[in-house]
Structure 1
Amino acid sequence: MSQQFEHICIIDDDSIYTNLVSKIIKLNKIANHILIFRNGKEALDYLVDSIETKADTIVIPQVILLDLNMPIMDGWEFLDEFEKIKNRLSKKVSVYVVSSSINKLDIDRAKANHIVQDYLSKPLQSTDFRKILN
């Protein structure tokens, strides 16, 4: 792979999936660090904290891999809240929806959202990571 990110964030409640994607990222040296959150609220709280504290220890990922169906705060709710804070983050963040949903309404809704770079189907393939890297 041609490019490497410092930080990638995975927002997904499926621990088997997050472990698998983490291994793919590490094996292919796609990112130096991986942030994992089990729902949108955990991720949003982390990002808001980075804005409010401006702490050097809090890192902002260049890429977010976002699941749609999660407890507490799903991917749609995360996107709505992320829209409110994205301009206050210290760097640009690219969001990719990664879902097992084959519902055309979900796919079209995600692709129509100006925050979302692309809709990727689970399980992620190496070709999907090439899209993200390019």
Structure 2
Amino acid sequence: MIRKRPLIGIIDDDEIYQFTLTRIINHNKQAERVITFSDGEKAIQYLTDNKSINENIPDIIFLDLNMPIMDGWQFMEEYASVKTEIKKKVNIFMWSSSVNPIDIERASEISEISDYIIKPIKLEDVKIFFEKLETLL
């Protein structure tokens, strides 16, 4: 069976990280499509507007921790109320330059977060990540 490539969402206020990760994903043909959001609020609005359209809901979300307007923690709080209406599994990967053990521990305690990834992410890291991800999808 041929596996459909995932829809990937990137929630990050850093346009360079958005651009870099999108380029790596597209170059390696690891996604059907990549959608980006500059803050958690825009992403929650998108999920709310599209909750009944499964093909518009990302299979994977890369969620930055530190952002203006709505940070990663606030996004996860809002996502908890929206996810009950979403009819597909969404794998959320929190990514941050924070190596603070408190942040890493807090992320590990949220069942909806699949993993915590420390920035910067390199091409090799992305390739390894997607190889591991095959077992989750």
TM-score by shorter chain over 0.5: yes
Within 5 A, what are the aligned runs for 1:1-134? 5-51=5-51, 54=52, 59-124=56-121, 125=125, 126-134=127-135
The total of aligned residue pairs comes to: 130
Runs of at least 4 residues of structure 1 off by over 6 A?
none
- Name the SS for the 1:108 alignment partner: helix
Distance 1:55 1:87 in 2: 14
Residues 5 and 62 in structure 1, CA contact (< 8 A), matched pair in contact too: no
Distance 1:27 1:4 in 2: 17
Q: Could you tell me how far 1:130 is from its partner in structure 2?
A: 2.5
| 1:41/1:30 CA distance change after superposition, 3 Å | same
| 1:118/1:3 CA distance change after superposition, 3 Å | farther
Give aligned-pair identity as a percent: 41
Gaps of 5+ in 1: none
Distance 1:3 1:120 in 2: 25
Q: Could you tell me how far 1:91 is from its partner in structure 2?
A: 1.4
| 1:65/1:22 CA distance change after superposition, 3 Å | same
Gaps of 5+ in 2: none
Residues 6 and 60 in structure 2, CA contact (< 8 A), matched pair in contact too: no
After superposition, the C-alpha distances for 1:54-83 in whole angstroms (9 at most, x for unaligned) are 468x70110000000000000000001101
Q: Could you tell me how far 1:25 is from its partner in structure 2?
A: 0.3
Residues 96 and 117 in structure 1, CA contact (< 8 A), matched pair in contact too: yes
